[in-house]
Structure 1
């Protein structure tokens, strides 16, 4: 949850409620885990020199495929393997949809699979921007503010023992600076990642910051397929998806306005496939109410997320429902962050789960 406030040098987190021992968890986190090396995105994407700003095109024959063996999925996640079988990626991508028929209108209308080649192609070409080079200076409104987050980065870095060269996903990245959970990690610990922000004004500001992370001007889908929604950006930091009864008819009748307009959404897993990255050190989710629905779209057996913070106080389902969902997907509720501008729950991957399975 984000409210307007003055920038200031960060203070120590005033209240953390951690139900399990910090040192025990840090010990667990320090143990070796199954982590793939950082993928070389250049094997899958290349810069389109004919379009500015920098965007992505793709080589269709090198679509990203899961790195680990396919597990049995108890819930339908609208994945290619569920429709075409486990070996679907061995066939040419054009078999599933000719390139000239791959449009966003087609993807939305046909509710294409999260990892459908057309969905991946659309994201890479039209909705994904490349990180600024490390040699390019940041353009920040308040460069002297060391850590603009509201405690999230301090909590996560304490858990991860000040890890360097990590990878983050920040959903609700706003302008890339104000209350950013990841700017400190990126500036001082050489992290990179993906920043997602659907507010058009905020995203335009984000693009000027020269963040060393991928950026995407989309919202996250609350269903396991791409979709277009009406977005309310009237109150910048509290921007959110409008439900059907809350203004969609007005947009349909009168068209977009400066503050209420249509936005393209993709499932988070689609974006991860598009950047060929399913090993995540930190995932921050703050979208003012759709958190639970977004988390339900994720095929968690195909991604490896170490730590998460999820804003819960605007979610109709409540924190307890989010926690049950995450615990069912091998996460532990580590605690709560309660700050003047933040009500978030912290989750960490249950690293002992593999050990228990081995012993059994």
Structure 2
């Protein structure tokens, strides 16, 4: 098998990998993308996302299928400069190699593949260790969205930044920008209160992983999409069963 694999050109391997990922039901860690493209938006085409902590754009990605199958566009943000090289190869949307924080400044940043990030006592990476620590300039999420001329209403925010979510969102302008749907990893109590105060409804929670939010202005449409999506899927299963039955 290894010998056969060695004969396949690198470009062909990359194409096959992307092809297979595009035909999966989900590339997310726990079905976050299925919730978005299916339950929340009923396979809507041409939506707009913001992916903060995009990693390489495919593995455990909450937005890859949105882009590749449903023609969504948006912004992928990945602070790790090493991983970012893969991200720009894997995605065609806007990709930014910036480190988000509550304001402009400079922070220590540890390069630990998917688990890297800002080093500080209020995030996951509390100790920098001795290797792979660099200094990174930081920018606010507000300034990134302004620079990119992002729409004031964004369909989906995915944010997973190893405990730095509160630092990024605590100073965010929720009055200027609204997200129809949000998945956020392990939000703090402060963030849960912040979302609630700005009209976000907690739909479900995966223990030790993500919370799923819908903005109150999108709630009726979400419920309608949810019903329509599963009605459509159940009809498809019904007709498929009739077709294959003797």
Which structure ranks higher in relative contact order (CA pairs < 8 Å, sequence separation ≥ 6)? 1
| Residue 304, structure 1, aligned to residue 165, structure 2 | no
| Residue 199, structure 1, aligned to residue 74, structure 2 | no
The answer to which structure has the higher helix fraction is 2
Q: Distance in 1 between matches of 2:60 and 2:218?
A: 33
1:139–1:208 contact (8 Å) kept in structure 2: no
The alignment covers a number of residue pairs equal to 197
Moved over 6 A (4+): none
Q: Distance in 2 between matches of 1:275 and 1:330?
A: 25
| Residue 243, structure 1, aligned to residue 120, structure 2 | yes
Q: 1:175 maps to which residue?
A: 56
Give 1:324's match in structure 2, choosing from 173, 187, 193.
193
| Residue 230, structure 1, aligned to residue 108, structure 2 | yes
| Residue 260, structure 1, aligned to residue 133, structure 2 | yes
Give 1:286's match in structure 2, choosing from 153, 160, 170.
160
Matches within 5 A, 1:30-109: none
Describe the superposition over 1:82-122 as per-residue Cα deviations: whole angstroms up to 9, x where unpaired: xxxxxxxxxxxxxxxxxxxxxxxxxxxxxxxxxxxxxxxxx
Q: 1:149 maps to which residue?
A: 28
State the Cα distance separating 1:261 from its structure 2 match.
Answer: 0.5
Q: Distance in 1 between matches of 2:13 and 2:146?
A: 28
Q: 1:347 maps to which residue?
A: 213
Instruction: In structure 2, list runs of 5 or more residues that go unmatched.
Output: 1-11, 220-246
| Residue 334, structure 1, aligned to residue 207, structure 2 | no
Q: Distance in 1 between matches of 2:108 and 2:14?
A: 31
Q: 1:217 maps to which residue?
A: 97
1:285–1:291 contact (8 Å) kept in structure 2: yes
1:282–1:307 contact (8 Å) kept in structure 2: yes
Describe the superposition over 1:157-178 as per-residue Cα deviations: whole angstroms up to 9, x where unpaired: 2112222100101111101111
Q: Distance in 2 between matches of 1:349 and 1:138?
A: 40
Q: Distance in 1 between matches of 2:13 and 2:92?
A: 9
Describe the superposition over 1:48-88 as per-residue Cα deviations: whole angstroms up to 9, x where unpaired: xxxxxxxxxxxxxxxxxxxxxxxxxxxxxxxxxxxxxxxxx
1:169–1:282 contact (8 Å) kept in structure 2: yes
Q: Distance in 2 between matches of 1:268 and 1:162?
A: 28
Task: Give the SS at the match of 1:300.
Answer: coil
Task: Give the SS at the match of 1:262.
Answer: strand
Q: Distance in 1 between matches of 2:13 and 2:192?
A: 37
The 3 A distance-change label for structure 1 pair 141 and 246 is farther
The 3 A distance-change label for structure 1 pair 185 and 351 is same
State the Cα distance separating 1:212 from its structure 2 match.
Answer: 2.3
CA RMSD in angstroms comes to: 2.4
Q: Distance in 2 between matches of 1:321 and 1:161?
A: 31
| Residue 272, structure 1, aligned to residue 145, structure 2 | yes
State the Cα distance separating 1:352 from its structure 2 match.
Answer: 7.8
Q: Distance in 2 between matches of 1:275 and 1:352?
A: 24
Provide TM-score, normalisation by structure 1: 0.51
2:170–2:191 contact (8 Å) kept in structure 1: no
State the Cα distance separating 1:237 from its structure 2 match.
Answer: 0.9
Q: Distance in 2 between matches of 1:138 and 1:191?
A: 25
1:140–1:177 contact (8 Å) kept in structure 2: no
Matches within 5 A, 1:124-139: 139=14
Q: Distance in 1 between matches of 2:216 and 2:174?
A: 13
State the Cα distance separating 1:266 from its structure 2 match.
Answer: 1.0
